[in-house]
Structure 1
């Protein structure tokens, strides 16, 4: 497996852990028989953890498809790996800024992550212009 493919797995785990951690921390308040109970997410940190989780679900498919497409279409693997690692770092920072209630920085990080995905996605189309 390539580094980028491991980053796909790590990104998946990140969005799962962003909500699982808050459920574990607040386990006495979490009712597993009603896992989507809106009352659990009344707490501001739980609501932000849910938001980070949901955004992770939204961001994951594009990232996974972009990486796999770039690899299958013969993009430069080293650059794909580097951008995938960068995307993962940005997503980790994104989750922390979401939990820390830093909306402006969070939006900047989201934009950077989206730009990284665009770069990975179009890499096969522009590979002949890259100095690699």
Structure 2
């Protein structure tokens, strides 16, 4: 599950970069130092925010999952929590990119519940 989350993060990085190209963000600008800010489209901006959100939660998930593994607390609760986190994060990005408001928040909540389950598993 940890590797699956890493793959989700890598996909987000590539997707965000690809969505941020075009318009005023031409190839010379993308390959340069990017000292002057250029606007991005709506979808690219959403992908940037989704990526930032992933980067906020992934270290917590990784630390919690590794702590469970090192402590020998890797049971059903840990696995279900990890699955909920990974599935929630995988669904969050395309739903956010599409601009679906309420479902996006519910899917995010599923991923956070997954993270909390991993943390609870550590203390059991």
**TM superposition score category, shorter chain reference:** 0.7 to 0.9
Q: Which deviations, in whole Å up to 9, do the C-alpha atoms of 1:59-111 show, x marking residues without a partner? A: 10110011011111221434423331231111111111111111221111222
* Cα distance in structure 2, aligned partners of 1:66 and 1:118: 9
Question: Which residue of the partner structure matches residue 93 of structure 1?
Answer: 91
Question: Which residue of the partner structure matches residue 67 of structure 1?
Answer: 65
Question: Which residue of the partner structure matches residue 56 of structure 2?
Answer: 58
TM-score (norm 1): 0.75
**1:38 deviation in Å?**
4.2
* Cα distance in structure 2, aligned partners of 1:54 and 1:36: 20
TM-score (norm 2): 0.79
Q: Which runs of 5+ in 2 are unaligned?
A: none
* Cα distance in structure 2, aligned partners of 1:36 and 1:87: 36
Answering whether residue 15 of structure 2 is matched by residue 21 of structure 1, we say yes
Question: Which residue of the partner structure matches residue 5 of structure 2?
Answer: 11
1:48, 1:99 within 8 Å by CA — same for their partners in 2?
Answer: yes
Cα RMSD of the aligned pairs, angstroms, is 2.3
Q: What pairs with 1:72-87 in structure 2 (closer than 5 Å)?
A: 72-87=70-85
Q: Which runs of 5+ in 1 are unaligned?
A: 1-6, 127-132
